[in-house]
């Protein structure tokens, strides 16, 4: 991508998403990262180069947030804690979503209090072990996720301070009717600070010409009106402060999928949502393992190789033409927690 486009003054980016791996030790049915061929290590940016990029981002917005991305990011603790240490050094908030499998001891929970992110989210798809394990593809993954949450919360109580601790669920046909029980389990039994909701999208990974997205086809929610009623009932019961605009977009997302049909084609289905609901290009920069910057996770939009100091700013300030193109994108990924314009809850 050329940076010759006329530079315009824009609002500063709010989030920097940094990949530290693309491998995972679970076998989630909605994600194929565990099947992804790993890059040549010599082609990946160093810890030092990633820290330089974080430093440059801080210069663009000192109140911005850094998000650690994977795979399962804690499989590479040297890279993981290098990001958190850099953020702590320069006073930036740092967020992370983990599957809990590498947070199995009090010692690791204590390290997360001392050296970890300022917000930790553990993936948890159900209060029922069999449902979580089925969607995550590994027996025992429920127990590991719940153990991680409990260890983190216990360590925070011991320290008397620490990060926000959330759970996050991928909501689909096999679990949405049990949302009340899941909220009760997360908020009252485990005692986490929040349960965040994501909704099933087509399966992440490298689709091929013959690829059939059977999990998406079988598990995307068919009855969005019932889903909305359940969420509103949970809102009233648990005082969630659900954003009504977001809830209408959730309904529109699922209605769009049903009307488009051919769910088994996953990402290959050309149609998207009825309305544009993403604003990633106005607030996010994603930097991959090779040091390439994008305005969203979709590889169909061009990336720019970050080579020298100042490239991150030059990239951000030269993308107005690309932003105009992205403002017409209605891909299903727009419902994702990371890129959607509307937050699920009101401030």
Position 93 scores a pLDDT of 98
pLDDT classification of 36: cutoffs 50, 70, 90: confident
**To 10 degrees, the CA torsion angle through 68, 71, 74, 79?**
-60
- Res 210: pLDDT: 54
Cα–Cα distance list, 89 to 14, 79, 113, 304 (Å): 19, 15, 15, 27
| Domains with residue ranges and CATH for the chain | 15-335 (3.20.20.70)
Q: Rounded to an integer, what distance in angstroms lies between the CA atom of residue 304 and that of residue 339?
A: 19
pLDDT at 209 over 70: no
For the record, the structure tokens of 7 come out as: 């530079």
Note whether 289 and 297 are within 8 A (CB).
Answer: no
Residue with tokens 């530079």: 7
Give 33's pLDDT tier (boundaries 50, 70, 90): confident
Q: Specify the 3-state DSSP secondary structure of 168.
A: strand
Q: Give 154's pLDDT tier (boundaries 50, 70, 90).
A: very high
Q: How confident is the model at residue 208 (pLDDT cuts 50, 70, 90)?
A: low
Contacts of 261 (CB under 8 A, 6+ apart): 269
Q: Is the pLDDT of residue 204 over 90?
A: no
Token pair 């920097």 in the structure block, residue: 16
Which is nearest to 240 in space by CA: 325, 323, 182, 318? 182
Q: What is the pLDDT of residue 3?
A: 43
At residue 43, the 3 state secondary structure works out as: helix
- Beta-bridged to residue 97, according to DSSP, are 121
Interhelix angle 141-159/106-115, nearest 10 degrees:
60
Residue showing tokens 């390439």: 292
Q: Which residues, in sequence order, are bridge partners of residue 98?
A: 122
| pLDDT score, position 5 | 38
pLDDT band of residue 38 (cuts 50, 70, 90) is confident
Residues facing 19 on adjacent strands: 69
Taking Cα atoms as reference points, which of 260, 275, 166, 274 lies closest to residue 216? 260
User: C-alpha 11: how far from its chain's center?
Assistant: 23
Angle made by CA atoms 339, 342, 346, in degrees to the nearest 5: 130
Contact 202, 213 (CB under 8 A): yes
- Taking only the tens place, the pLDDT of each residue in 229-240 is 999 999 999 999
Token representation of residue 332: 């299903």
Is 190's pLDDT higher than 50? yes
pLDDT score, position 207: 54
Q: Tell me: the pLDDT tens digits for 312-345? A: 999 999 999 999 999 999 999 999 999 999 999 9
List the single range of 104-118, 166-180, 201-215 with lowest mean pLDDT.
201-215
Q: 285, 272 in Cβ contact below 8 A?
A: no
Instruction: Report the distance separating Cα 262 and Cα 264, nearest Å.
Output: 5
- Mean pLDDT of the 50-71 span: 97
Note the pLDDT of residue 300. Answer: 92
The two counts, helices (H) then strands (E), for the chain are: 12, 9
Distance CA(313)–CA(244), nearest Å, equals 35
pLDDT value of residue 43: 86
The two tokens of residue 344 are 């699920």
pTM assigned to the model:
0.94
The predicted structure's pLDDT at residue 112: 98
| pLDDT band, very low/low/confident/very high, at 347 (cuts 50, 70, 90) | confident
Q: Over 60: is that where the pLDDT of 75 sits?
A: yes
pLDDT tens sequence across 237-274: 999 999 999 999 999 999 999 999 999 988 887 789 99
pLDDT at 220 over 50: yes
Q: Which residue has the tokens 């500063």?
A: 12
Helix axes 224-238, 244-260, angle to 10 degrees: 160
Q: Which of 247, 255, 249 is nearest to 276 (CA)?
A: 249
In contact, 267 and 209? CB cutoff 8 Å: no
Are the beta carbons of 64 and 13 closer than 8 angstroms?
yes
The mean per-residue pLDDT over the stretch 50-76 comes to: 97
């Amino acid at each position: 991508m050329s940076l010759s486009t006329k530079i315009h003054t824009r609002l500063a980016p709010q989030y920097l998403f940094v990949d530290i791996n693309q491998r995972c030790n679970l076998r989630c049915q909605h994600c194929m990262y565990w099947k992804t061929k790993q890059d040549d290590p010599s082609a990946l940016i160093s810890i030092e180069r990633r820290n330089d990029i974080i430093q440059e981002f801080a210069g663009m917005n000192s109140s911005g947030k850094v998000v650690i991305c994977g795979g399962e990011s804690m499989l590479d603790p040297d890279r993981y804690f290098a990001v958190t240490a850099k953020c702590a050094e320069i006073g930036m908030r740092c967020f992370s979503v983990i599957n809990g499998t590498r947070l199995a001891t009090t010692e690791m929970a204590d390290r997360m209090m001392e050296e970890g992110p300022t917000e930790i989210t553990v993936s948890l798809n159900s209060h029922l072990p069999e449902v979580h394990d089925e969607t995550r593809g590994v027996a025992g993954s429920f127990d590991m996720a719940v153990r991680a949450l409990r260890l983190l919360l216990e360590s925070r109580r011991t320290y008397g301070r620490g990060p926000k601790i959330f759970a996050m669920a991928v909501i689909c046909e096999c679990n949405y009717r049990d949302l009340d029980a899941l909220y009760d389990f997360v908020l009252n039994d485990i005692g986490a600070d929040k349960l965040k909701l994501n909704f099933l999208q087509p399966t992440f990974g490298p689709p091929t010409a013959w690829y059939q997205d059977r999990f998406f086809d079988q598990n995307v929610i068919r009855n969005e009106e019932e889903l909305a009623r359940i969420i509103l009932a949970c809102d009233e019961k648990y005082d969630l402060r659900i954003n009504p605009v977001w809830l209408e977009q959730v309904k529109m997302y699922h209605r769009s999928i049903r009307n488009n049909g051919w769910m088994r084609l996953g990402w290959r289905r050309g149609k998207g949502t009825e309305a544009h609901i993403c604003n990633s290009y106005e607030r996010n920069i994603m930097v991959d393992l090779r040091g390439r910057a994008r305005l969203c996770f979709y590889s169909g939009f061009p990336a720019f190789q970050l080579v020298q100091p100042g490239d991150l700013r030059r990239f951000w300030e030269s993308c107005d033409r690309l932003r105009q193109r992205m403002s017409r994108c209605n891909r299903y990924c727009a419902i994702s927690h990371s890129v959607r314009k509307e937050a699920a809850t009101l401030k």
